[in-house]
A = this chain, B = another copy of it.
Amino acid sequence: MRISELSARSGVAIPTIKYYLREGMLHQGEQTAATRAEYDDSHLRRLRLIRALLEVGRLPVAAIKTVIAAVEDETLPMHHMLGIAHYALGPVVEPEQDEEWRTARAEVDHLLGELGWTVAEDAPTRDELAQTLVRMRQLGLHVDLAPYVEAVGKLVTEVEMDTIPFDGPRDAAVEALVLGTVLYGKAFDTLRRMAQESESARRLGPR
């Protein structure tokens, strides 16, 4: 297809497509004449991925380039590539290196060991959870993660990971991971607040 059709089908404006081409985020089409190139489904798929990272994941362009480099590096195993996209979606956590923080981080490591979950030693989620634990304790919350661990384990193992097409094109798998992680995360958070309202009504009498 020509660039005009690629634009119409992807919903991405032509100048934006040209920008992605210049920046190397989108691979070049097949040159069929001096000023004409042909694009195919792989370009459509890449534009979908860029939109997902930009609009749903809200990643900055620099992070999107990192994810795309991982998608294009075919020597990188699928799990590693998904990890790069996944880490880019989380917040940037600066661990406070004090005693309280180190204790919380050790607890997180211990919890993951007990669960037998395979999470990299340097995964940012370890620092992130440690920071939330510190915050909870400082504010006097009695912390019990067990029911959350149980709910999340079931959800991810039995439902979420089945929606990712591990055996298809690499950009489609990353796109599915981004959409699933962000949008289902949002839906879950909203449902949780609805359930809280409903349970509050049940206990206190609805108004």
Contact = CB atoms under 8 A, between A and B. Distances in A.
Residue in A149, A196, A207 with the greatest tally of chain B CB atoms within 10 Å: A196
Contact of A187 (B90, B148, B159): B148
A156 B192 contact: yes
A145 B196 CA distance: 17
A160 B180 CA distance: 25
A152 interface: yes
B155 A147 contact: yes
A83 B197 contact: yes
A197 B118 contact: yes
Nearest to A123: B197
A110 to B, nearest CB: 14
Given A129-B194, A198-B118, A155 B151 contact: yes
B201 A135 contact: no
B155 A203 contact: no
A200 to B, nearest CB: 5
A47 to B, nearest CB: 13
Contact of A128 (B155, B156, B190, B198): B190
A125 interface: yes
Interface string A163-207: 100100000000001011101111111111111111111111111
A41 B191 CA distance: 35
A17 interface: no
Contacts of A159: 144, 147
Contacts of A205: 77, 79
A158 interface: yes
A116 to B, nearest CB: 8
A90 B202 CA distance: 21
A26 interface: no
A155 B196 CA distance: 10
Interface in A59-114: 77-80, 82-83, 86, 89-90, 112
Given A56-B135, A145-B187, A186-B132, A79 B193 contact: no
